[in-house]
Amino acid sequence: MKKFLSTAVLLTLVTILLTGCFLLGGQKAVQNIELKGLKTEYEIGDTPDFSGVTATVVYNDGTTKEVAGSELTFGTIDTSASGKKSLDVTYEGFTVSIQITVKDKSINNDDQKPEDELHIISVELPSSLTSLESKKELFLNKKYGYVVGDDNPFILKLNLTVINNSGIPVEGFSEYVSVFEIYLDGTLLEGDQLNAYAAIDGEKNSVDFTEEAIGKTFTIKTRPEGIDEEDKAEMTRELTVSVVDGLNIYEAWELNYITNYDEFNFEGVAGINMTHTQIADAFLATKGATRPSNLAGIILHNDLIIERTDIPSEYFLDNNRDNELWDAFTIFPHINDSATKTFSIYGNYYTIFSYNLPTVCEYGTGNQDDYVSNGQLFRFSAPTDDGVNHDHTQYKLNINSLYMKDDDSNSDNVETSSRDMRGLIGMKVIYQDVTLENVRLEAFYISFFIDGDQTVATLNETKLYNSWQNHIYIWSSNTIQGGTDEAPSENYVPATLNVTNSEITKCGGPVIIAQTKYAEYASGAKSGAVVNIDENSEVWTLVTGQEAWFKAMYATPIAQQIQQLGYVLQGTLGTSFITQIGEDGQPSGGTVYMNIVFANLSAGTDVETILGATEDLDGKVTIAGTTYMNMNDDFTATHAATGKPVGFGNANVANLVAMTGGAAPVFTTAPGGVCYFDGSALQTALTGDPNMDAMNQAALTMGDYIALHMNNMGIVLGYNIPFGG
């Protein structure tokens, strides 16, 4: 987006604001913890030592505070087994997760004396599994079972406590042979029956499930080899797993396995001369790995903290450009093809952290030519070369029980805005049926992006929280359809969002923004976004206009003008979309909030383009079974300023837009109330019949949301805001 300029004209200011993004204000809170003196590498058996740790605490108002280690709360690190661990450090309710590496110590058993014979005295499941119950608390649904894939072995290595004959703990013991038992429906599998479903490798502590096992649920029991008979029960641990088609992954670099198409063209750029997939394949080769063909999905078995070294160096600009990410770049792009039409990610309640990655390149560097830029962590697509006959229902993306977290959280700190406006979108999706089931996306630039028509996305039991711009962005562009004279294809659907049993809260702009690129494509097609939110979902954000985004974009005065419209409604009707009650239900001390749920705009990244738009936009928003905004062409009238027909689902709205030239704000509520702002007062008496006008005014005070129509744009605002306002 380009820098917005203020204007004295109220209606123009309103329009400008609707093209941008908003930030949520709030009380002073910790935004980041910068640790000093923290040891990040241990050997097996070491006791973690935090005595020398100090921290700089950064608050959301830009202030900082030096804190001693004794004031911090440190989580636990399991050093009984090697690998990458996640250490949680908390201060005043804010937690950062730091990656800790535990390395093996070599044990030379040949040098042990007889009296130093080793004894296993206890076993535990891996720390990644023992911490799952606490991780589930971050999700809306805590009842999903554990999932493993069939494409490669599932490693189940226990943590062992070992002593010698003298009773002294032996540090660094990690290599042992496992004994596995696999049960199906309570029956121990043996012989050919076992071989049909799994291959066991005790030395590698792994179970490799076959394709025959997909769709079935097994109980795995495991213990170290050589345990005395009387100790077997005590030394056995078990895990129930469901087998799916996919690849088990344990480290962040393995996410590169999903990159299978050239979404970004590196050829001829900065001397790279490689495609996106060639770069990913070359990087995997340095790990001794090969990208699998026809990959159906990935299954996480650990928290993944993505570092710069976990993705190819070509993804960053050279040293003269700060080594930041390329603009409009996807780190992990994946496309479904005719052989693998469904792709799935099973998170197992684990988290993908991207907050250690750098920003997208700033203005004037690399391929960046806009003031605001962004990239994507993931982009999931389906092929479009089947033209007008593309059937999105044939291609599916399923994501289950996955937590993704970046660091572009909504903030009042204007000093951080440069980084925040050059951040990552959590994921983009296009041309397929998408289901996010029990997913959490937090602190991204934008959480979730529907990138075109022919895309239907369902978010169920999903939590989107605290994004910098907005949570859901819908880009309506019917590029598959073709020219303006073509009728919609049989399989055509507009970009569609369904939200059920979910929480989508606290972001820096409207919760949902929809823009239409080709309003005229195709003839007769309803090319606006369709949004359905059920009665079990919580969808809101509060905007003040004082957040860092507004200050950085010089748009604070614009937000203040928008608030004045809320005061006009409040003064005339006694109710409004503004409130002085904060999200905690307490009085704000005079701060005025607006709850902006949806904004429907024409295409454009600058004010002039938006203001000059004359397209007849479509789009529909239904919340809890009630349609609060309908911009489809049920009723049409001539736009006085452009001479073009405009359509709305409400006849009174269409008539008022035509009567006022399309520039005056027109408000409507679901019960049928309608009014408009003439620049100085709210006009609610429209018929001349006192009884009819009284009914209209009463209807304007009803319902949970109010819709604003102006310049062919539409906005849904939380009317009777559920925070006491």
Q: What is the pLDDT of residues 695-724, one digit of tens each?
A: 999 999 888 999 988 777 889 999 866 444
pLDDT at residue 549, as a whole number: 62
13 in any annotated domain: no
At 375-393, the pLDDT tens digits run: 999 999 998 765 567 888 9
Task: Report residue 368 as tokens.
Answer: 């960046």
pLDDT at 661 over 70: yes
Let me know whether 529 and 471 are in one domain.
yes
Domain annotation covers residue 228: yes
Q: Which domain holds residue 133?
A: 112-243
Q: What pTM value is reported for the model? A: 0.83
Do both 205 and 71 map to the same domain?
A: no
1 within some domain? no
Neighbours of 436 (CB within 10 A): 25
pLDDT confidence of residue 681: 93
The answer to whether 513 and 470 have CB atoms below 8 angstroms apart is yes
In CATH, what number is assigned to the domain containing residue 95? 2.60.40.3630
- Considering the domain architecture, whether residues 349 and 420 belong to the same structural domain is answered as yes
Residue 702 maps to a domain: yes
pLDDT of residue 446: 92
* CA dist., res. 549 & res. 95, Å (int): 24
> DSSP code of 186?
T
More confidently predicted of 646 and 344: 344
- Claim to verify: residue 362 and residue 416 sit in the same structural domain: yes
**361 and 493 part of one domain:** yes
Neighbours of 349 (CB within 10 A): 26
Same domain, 500 and 444: yes
Give the separation between CA 346 and CA 241, rounded to whole angstroms.
Answer: 12
Q: Which of 49, 81, 103 is the last residue in one of the domains?
A: 103
Tracing tokens 């605002």 back to the chain, one arrives at 717
The token duo for 300 is 């996480």
For residues 466 and 409, the answer to whether their CB atoms sit within 8 Å is: yes
Answer yes or no: do 56 and 144 share one domain: no
Which residues lie across from 333 on neighbouring strands? 379
Burial 414-427 (b: 16+ CB within 10 A, else e): bebbeebbbbbbbb
In the chain, the number of structural domains is: 4
* 685 and 538 inside one domain: no
Same domain, 337 and 473: yes
Q: Report pLDDT digits (tens) over 252-304.
A: 999 999 999 998 877 766 678 889 999 999 999 999 999 998 899 999 999 99
Query: Quick one: CA torsion of 75, 80, 86, 90, rounded to 10 degrees?
Result: 10
Token look-up 């608390």 returns 137
Among residues 51, 73, 103, the one where a domain terminates is 103
Higher pLDDT, 107 or 99: 99
Domain boundary residue, one of 83, 103, 123? 103
> Would 457 be classed as within a structural domain?
yes
Burial 670-707 (b: 16+ CB within 10 A, else e): beebbbbbeeeebbbebeeeeeeeeebbebbbebbbbb
Give yes or no: residues 391 and 363 share one domain.
Answer: yes
Q: Please report whether residue 493 resides in a domain.
A: yes
Does a structural domain hold residue 546? yes
Rg (CA), the chain: 28
Q: Is 656 helix (H, G, I), strand (E, B) or coil?
A: helix
Name residue 183's beta-bridge partners.
188, 219
Say yes or no: 224 and 333 in one domain: no
Q: For the chain, first and last CA: distance in Å?
A: 33
Q: Is residue 273 situated within a structural domain?
A: no
Phi, psi torsion values for 446, nearest 5 degrees: -135, 140
415, 485: one domain: yes
